[in-house]
C-alpha cells in the first residue's frame, strides 16, 4: 500500500522533478507534488511524496528528515489526513453585504438591527 509523506521547508527553487529524484534514493516514488500558491503561482514551501511501501517511506523519513535539500533543511514525516475545514463565505450577509431575510420583512445590509 502506498504511503504519503509530508515534506516541509522546501526551497522555492525546488521542483517536483528534483523532489522525486531525491526521494527515489529511498525507494520507488509514486508521486511528488509541491503545493503552489494560487494567486502568485509560487511554491508554498511544502509538498507531498508518495512512496510505494511503508518500509520505503520509513527509509525516506530517516534519510531526509532534518537534512538539506536544495539549500534548505527540510522536515519529512508521515502525512496526516486533511482535516475538514468549514466553508469560507465571501460577501453575503456575513460581511455586511446585501441580504434579504424573509422572516425579518426584507431588511438589507446590517443597519436595521
Give the class (CATH, top level) of 3-78: alpha beta
Orientation angle between helical segments 54-64 and 16-23, nearest 10 degrees: 100
Q: Which residue has the higher pLDDT, 41 or 112?
A: 41
Specify the pTM: 0.73
Q: Are 13 and 34 in contact (CB under 8 A)?
A: no
pLDDT of residue 12: 93
Q: What is the largest CA-CA distance in the chain?
A: 67
Provide, rounded to the nearest whole percent, the portion of the chain with pLDDT above 70. Answer: 78
CA 86 to chain centre: 16
Q: What is residue 35's three-state secondary structure?
A: strand
Q: Where are the domains of the chain?
A: 3-78
Give pLDDT tens digits for 10-62: 999 999 999 999 999 999 999 999 999 999 999 999 999 999 999 999 999 99
Amino acid at each position: 500500500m502506498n504511503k504519503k509523506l509530508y515534506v516541509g521547508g522546501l526551497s522555492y527553487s525546488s521542483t517536483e522533478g528534483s523532489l522525486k529524484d531525491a526521494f527515489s534514493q529511498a525507494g520507488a516514488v509514486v508521486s511528488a507534488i509541491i503545493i503552489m500558491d494560487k494567486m502568485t503561482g509560487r511554491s508554498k514551501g511544502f509538498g507531498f511524496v508518495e512512496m510505494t511501501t511503508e518500509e520505503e517511506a520509513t527509509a525516506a523519513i530517516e534519510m531526509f528528515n532534518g537534512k538539506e535539500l536544495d539549500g534548505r533543511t527540510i522536515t519529512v514525516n508521515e502525512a496526516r489526513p486533511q482535516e475538514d475545514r468549514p466553508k469560507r463565505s465571501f460577501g453575503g450577509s456575513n460581511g455586511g453585504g446585501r441580504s434579504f431575510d424573509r422572516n425579518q420583512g426584507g431588511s438589507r445590509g446590517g443597519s436595521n438591527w
